[in-house]
Amino acid sequence: MQFGTVVTMVLGGWLSGSDQGNWPMTFYVFGGLGLVWGIPWFLLVHDRPEQHPRISHAELQYIQANMHAVKKAEVVSVPWRAMLTSAPVWACVIIASGSSFGFQTLLSEMPTYLANIQHFDMNSSGLMSALPYLCMWIFGLSWGVGMDRLAAAGLLSVTAVRRLSTGFAHYVPAAALVVMCFVDCNSTLAMVVLCLAVGACGSAYSGNALAEQDIAPNLTGTLMGITNTMGAVMGFIAPSVTGAITQGRQGSLGAWRTVFLVSAANYVVTTTLYMLTMSAQVQPWNHSQKSRDRREDPEGAPSLEKT
């Protein structure tokens, strides 16, 4: 995902600022690439690992040995009441909203900040805007390997991995955004702090990005639909808030300081609420009613059948 962001920002900056391109061309190019990407996806996707004609025996065995963490073939009706009254579900919604608001502020407004405050031209702005996401790509992969080894060695539980990863992914950017209020027009320091803020977000892929899968593997698609909707809503709210703050003052350091402080406060509040309500355990409502009955009374069901 972050590799795509890096390529998009570099190429998008070049298309928008070069003599050969213009800003509408950015939408045509990447819209076209999206359509091209869809063709192999539809040809290669399958419903279940067992149905994939090219899956290796080793990979299939690994998935089947960890069926407690993946969706089963059994169809589970969505227990809306149980879901909507579940604290871990609301934790997922809160962190999806908060992280998306902060990340979208950095993603969509960074080129404007670099151009108006740090005075990069569009070509340089595209390249410089991509650098923090390159850091995020590398750091996210490295963090994931480290967490996996610590968990495999028994040094960290799954819950500890999720808490540590989520906290690092959101509290560090919050602190970095506060620091951004004091960098003024020091472009080098601004880039270092932005790389730290965005790069730290990579640890979220070992944390809250897996929350829906942790609590309800059979209903992950439904939960992701809900939380991603909230994240998508933040995708237009965040730029709107930034626009309202910087309207007519895009070259004002004071306006951008307000933007950074609002984003930092958002990170701190939503992450703290998540930490207080999150869970990494599969919730009882993840299973079908029949499965729950078997779990609650494993000996009672057979005796009823005999009578």
Other beta carbons less than 10 A from residue 184's beta carbon: 13
For residue 127, the model assigns a pLDDT of 72
Handedness of CA 17, 19, 22, 26 (dihedral sign): negative
Tens digits of pLDDT across the chain (307 residues): 888 888 887 888 777 766 655 778 888 889 999 999 999 999 888 888 888 998 999 999 988 887 766 666 667 788 999 999 999 999 999 999 999 999 888 877 777 777 777 776 655 566 777 888 899 999 999 999 999 999 999 999 999 999 999 999 999 999 999 998 888 777 788 888 889 999 999 999 999 999 999 999 889 999 999 999 999 999 889 989 988 988 876 667 788 889 989 999 999 999 999 999 999 999 999 886 655 555 555 555 443 333 3
List all residues 6 or more positions away from 82 whose beta carbon is below 8 Å from its beta carbon.
283, 284, 285
For residue 306, the model assigns a pLDDT of 34
Residue type (1 letter), 201:
C
Closest by Cα among 29, 16, 218 to 122: 16
pTM (2 decimals)? 0.80
Q: Which CATH number, 1.20.1250.20, 1.20.990.10, 1.10.10.10, 2.40.50.140, labels domain 86-285?
A: 1.20.1250.20
Phi and psi of 184, rounded to 5°? 55, -130
**Domains of the chain by residue range:** 1-67, 86-285
- Spatial contact of 170 and 271, defined as CB atoms under 8 Å apart: yes
CA angle 203, 206, 208 (to 5 degrees): 90
- Which residue is listed with tokens 């007519």? 248
CA atoms within 13 A on the CB side of 65: 6
